[in-house]
Structure 1
Amino acid sequence: MSRTDYFHDPGAPNANSIKVAVSALVQDDDGRILLIRRTDNGKHSIPGGGLEAGETVTQAVVREVHEETGVDVAVTGLIGVFSDPDHVIAYDDGEVRQEFSICFHAQPVGGSPRPSDESTEVEWVAPDRLHDRDIHPSIWLRIRKGLEDAPRPYFT
């Protein structure tokens, strides 16, 4: 299913749903960031996805990162809660979802990077090379907040 992200766009459709999502800024020992290239919009992103019934948000992060990248992770901290009502995601089935993502820090503990049904590419990218990638502004915000040495989590 394809998607279109609208970020502070006055022409965006109105949201008709909200779903809890999780994402992770995964960094290796060299500080590189785990990125995927999404199959639904072709943009680069940190891994993440929807919370499923019966799991905690940290279990969802571990599952989603593994499903999308093949990398096993341990959650190490909270970056923040991203719930900007001016970021909506329109799907081709008519759903228009308001952003609601809880973003975590995570470190790799096993597995091997590989693409999936949700990712056409998986790569480790040095932070100073991120500008070479097509990354949506909402994901840039999560990355920036994750790289800051903030004393408290970010939230909207």
Structure 2
Amino acid sequence: MNKLTIPQANKIELGLGSSDQTPKHKISIGESIYPNEKKYNLETPKTYNRIENGKFELETEYFYTPSDSIVRVVMYEWTELRKINKTDTKKFDKKYNGLKKQLTSNLGTPSFVEIASDTAKSNFRDGIKWLNGNGNKAYLFMLGSNSTDYRKIRLAIYNE
């Protein structure tokens, strides 16, 4: 992710068939997701949507510094493609576990793991952070409800 710029991200997204959905209003990212230790002044993210493998709607946000167009954080969000009868929670579990495996392979052992879905009667947040080393850092989390089968996966990748 080092030195990825907005024009490069735009080229990548359009090449993947994404549509530009960048909002006109200000959007920020919370410090619990991206600590922003260097106190960058981030612009409203360039935002793209696409369908992934016919299973998920994927929204990708590129938070960047306007002075140089360098992307500081990439935030991915996977949601249900279409609500038919019931959310396929196994599909979300498989995606979450696949991302966890890939991130562990690339970034090493997680620094923080909190799994609440196993014991939660209703709403939960499972979270894993990779904060070690000098390279990319990541925060993967799944929001859900065991009572309604709601699921959403988010992943923030950044380098400080």
For Structure 1 versus Structure 2, the TM-score category normalised by the shorter chain is under 0.3
Q: Which has the higher strand share?
A: 1
Structure number with greater CO (CA < 8 Å, separation at least 6) is 1
TM-score, length-scaled by structure 2:
0.27
Q: Which has more radius of gyration?
A: 2
